[in-house]
Amino acid sequence: MFTSNLFCIFFGILSNSTPITDFHSMPDSRHAISMADEARSIKFWQAVAAEFVGMFFFIFIGLSSTSGWNAPYIPSQVQIALAFGLGLATFIHVTAHISGGHLNPAVSLAFLLLHRITPLRCVAYSLAQVIGAIAAAGMVKVITPADINDTIGPTTPGPDVTEWQAFLMELFLTYQLVLVIFATVDKSRPSPGGSSPLAIGISVLVAHLCAHHFLNMFSFKSDLSPSIFTDLIMFRV
């Protein structure tokens, strides 16, 4: 379902007519230091490490909530949605002042296309995010009883849901997430108050609640990471 995530990035860019900045006002990459100088900066590597750590704990919390324990401990739809939504909000809050709190390769790509980060930072962030997600899935598998390991859920269409219907559902839900992110970090709009990380987390929460019976899981990173550790041979795009 990663294709729908990328498709929605361009919708998000088109829907925003003003420049976007990170939570910590990262300058336009066209006027920033060179990528060579950036690679030598300790702050750059601190930011990459923050993306890894933030993604690790976000996915660890989210995937742990999906483990299919025996009754009466079967996870509910609300429990899983809360774990992913509040987990993301928490670790965006933790990492925002260090890396911008992307915690999503699609978000990093969007900021690259808007010249808010360099290609080097986009690649480094994305690798850190994917590796962090895979490490988290591996840790969940290690500490979860073997008889329920196969339920640490990669994204699959729900019963009677076609691939095309699942694609459209993730398309619209990813669009609303990108729209919320762009709206909350737009420095040109009057401040609505409240917490930007919480707004983004709630966006993920409602997406999970909406998509539960369509997709079983929502988000590229939470799909790929468990797939690697549940012996799935192919990852659909």
Q: Say which residue the tokens 């990380």 belong to.
A: 197
Which CATH entry fits the domain spanning 2-15+34-229: 1.10.287.1260, 1.20.1080.10, 3.30.70.20, 3.40.50.300?
Answer: 1.20.1080.10
Q: Say which residue the tokens 């429990």 belong to.
A: 79
Taken in order 83, 229, 91, 171, is the CA torsion positive or negative? negative
CB proximity list for 216: less than 8 A, separation 6 or greater:
153, 155, 156, 157, 158
CA distance 190 to 192: 6
Taking a C-beta distance cutoff of 8 angstroms, is the pair 23, 101 a contact?
yes
Taking a C-beta distance cutoff of 8 angstroms, is the pair 56, 132 a contact?
yes
- Which pair of tokens denotes residue 201? 């987390």
CA distance 98 to 50: 7
- Residue 147: predicted pLDDT: 75
Q: Say which residue the tokens 């929502």 belong to.
A: 218
Taking a C-beta distance cutoff of 8 angstroms, is the pair 1, 163 a contact?
no
- Residue 151: predicted pLDDT: 60
Taking a C-beta distance cutoff of 8 angstroms, is the pair 184, 64 a contact?
no
- pLDDT in tens for each of the 237 residues of the chain? 444 454 454 444 444 433 334 444 454 555 567 788 888 899 999 999 999 999 999 999 998 888 777 666 777 889 889 999 999 999 999 999 999 999 989 889 888 988 889 999 999 999 999 999 999 988 988 888 877 766 665 667 777 888 888 888 888 888 888 888 888 877 787 777 778 899 999 999 999 888 877 876 555 445 555 555 544 433 433
CB proximity list for 62: less than 8 A, separation 6 or greater:
80, 83, 84, 87, 88, 222
- Which pair of tokens denotes residue 168? 């459209």
